[in-house]
Amino acid sequence: MKGGGLALRDQLRRLQKRVGGGTVAIPQRDGTVARFPATALQDAFLTNMQRLRGENVPPHPLAVAAAASPDPEWRQSAYSADVTIVTPPENLSE
């Protein structure tokens, strides 16, 4: 029995790696984890670019989760819905 349990555990680990490889996990303040397919990264980024251009589009769910994350790498990333438009400084050289 002991050997069979190890084989099953190894199979479960391999399956978790395969499934987990295609997902993005974003920690949340309440201790939960928001999970998205890896393809959602591109969608969230493109949606944020539309928003930065002033288009009236709702934030992507991944961007909302990134903005609400306690992890500063997510919260301050280009994927976060809290992206702000930075206005370049006025040209005073004239």
Q: What is the pTM of this model?
A: 0.67
Hey, what are 60's tokens?
Answer: 């992507």
User: Does residue 59 lie within any of the structural domains?
Assistant: yes
- Name every residue whose Cβ is closer than 8 Å to that of residue 80 and which is 6 or more positions away in sequence: 48, 63, 66, 67, 69, 74
Structure confidence at residue 87 (pLDDT): 56
User: Does residue 10 lie within any of the structural domains?
Assistant: no
User: Does residue 16 lie within any of the structural domains?
Assistant: no
pLDDT reading at 23 higher than 70: yes
Cα 69 → chain centroid: 9
Q: Check if the beta carbon of residue 28 is closer than 8 Å to that of residue 34.
A: yes
Length of the chain: 94
Say how many domains are in the chain: 1
Tell me the per-residue pLDDT of 45-93, one tens digit each, with 9 for 90 and over. Answer: 999 999 888 888 999 999 999 999 999 999 988 899 876 555 556 777 7
Q: What span, in angstroms and rounded, lies between the C-alpha atoms of 94 and 86?
A: 22
Tell me the per-residue pLDDT of 47-58, one tens digit each, with 9 for 90 and over. Answer: 999 988 888 899
Range of the domain at 76: 23-94
User: Does residue 15 lie within any of the structural domains?
Assistant: no
